[in-house]
Structure 1
């Protein structure tokens, strides 16, 4: 299977899955060779959203009346945070159906992958990271939920394994669009890396052509011809750089709401995860109760998954931005003292483009995603924990 077919297959599978779940509201017309808005798929999406909301709304009322929704029950809180994220994702995709179709009409992903000859490299790396983030994390949460069910089954006859598995569905759906965002970050970062490699080759050859020895050995006509060829290659790289930047930033905005909802869920999960660990310790020390190691360990899985999810996204976004900054550094090492005027114009055009391009993984301008995000999340978690712990300790000692 060649690169283009591999890309097409992966994109078709992703769009088919999103369409099946009602998150994609258009279809591809082979006759017109473009995506077309579908009222049928819109009605299907609204129907899926309605059934989803009614089903999990009923489950929420059941758990609320049974006093199952509390800070100690991380699993329930994790589920209903994801339910809210899924509902927000459906609403945002319905609202952005026209911009989404326009984006799909003009995106040139296949051409970019084919030009850079990066199909296998890009999608092997992207698939490994995305599958780890999508499947491994969800499998860990699923196993913990099933294990907790079998342990608590004897004490909770109203629960069922099927109901427990259904509570995992929101977590899976809520991760789809944010994982598409993550996959786009990985792919764009790899494309920028390959572009930098080709740019570095051009810079090396340009610098070599201007050495004293080369200038003595080569005739002016050959040098002019070679610089014109390099200028053409530079113009192509400039065009591809614009495509990657524009398309990736546009896509980040389209999936901004699901991605931000995912960050909020992870922030909430980290806060509650640390607080449950605190509760397990303080109830042992203050109330002299037996330490529940099982709940502490299983609850820590939700905590670890949330931390890893945020850290992995922040790392890849930061790496993508740093790769773009490295493009400017490569150009700075290029000597244009004795180059042809044609190549000089191409190099200056690319340099000017880099100066005016502000490539940031900043969906809707709401939050910049880089390694500083980890610091911001930990700061927010610390603030929330201080408030929760202070309130809990005040209540405990006031009752003594």
Structure 2
């Protein structure tokens, strides 16, 4: 297995490390914690109550016939030691039920074709073959090896790949049309927040390629563009005691700190810093519920980032629809960033079909549509437009991230809430 792969500099695109297994394991275990659907674990995993109002689901139209469905490939992970996220499939299937009871994809039903990538190259290649040999028009989901094992395979069949991008090919391959930004947009959002607050910032990262690049390339560079002062602190992989790094972090005098590391490292940094009296504004990825148990009251005020709107957001209509749909069609699944992602992708595809007509959503036709998307409201996200993309990646149309702050009982948007990547075109 290649532990990392970088895009060639000659393409004039930002280098993006392929997420190593260690990075993907962190992603899957921090954001993919188990809970009931009645609990919110999407932004911070704390298990706060999520109220699902059935009235949020507008009366459905007549169910669309299944004789000519739009088939969608769903890549999920289960039954492996690295990390599991079966809720990806649950979210996609709930979205299909919702779409099919509300007019379909421009009048055509959605059919889910699922495959368990198991976070290994052999299964990833088998999933790619399954998707190619079926009638799917695109692939959504997540797997550690999809960038290496799957993207090029489906590309040869003219099949779009829209998985959550955690590797270079998932951002930059000609057939990749990412509807999420992952660490790229999240780190840039943190940089924008720090600049907006006019404070000195820092990032602390575990010294593996994916986390290092997230800190140095996607946090520090945008911060500098916005005039913010930042520093970086590397933590060796496997460090058993991070107290010395907490001390070094305090010596930077940073008022806000982005952490790109595992939940355990984030816990240790926060607790060690608190013991020395250093209490910056922490900005973290999604965390498991046990993070909140370990950190206790120190979790209050922590900011968490997400590609999409938090499921508990009381002011977002799409979030209300998501909560009601999950309660109705997937009541026992995990509500987190993964189930939201899968649900959002399927519903956003339906919105595209409603714009252009369901007959246009084909394997051969979809890439051209995705390359010319105009004013497409991403479900639980921003409006997507082909003229507005990530710097260097013309097919990566999700150009920002949402920041939410935990106040001890609920999530509230931090700062202005949604932040775009500096330098995005549009």
Bigger-Rg structure (1/2):
1
Identify, as 1 or 2, the structure richer in strand: 2
Q: What TM-score do you get using the length of structure 1 for normalisation?
A: 0.24
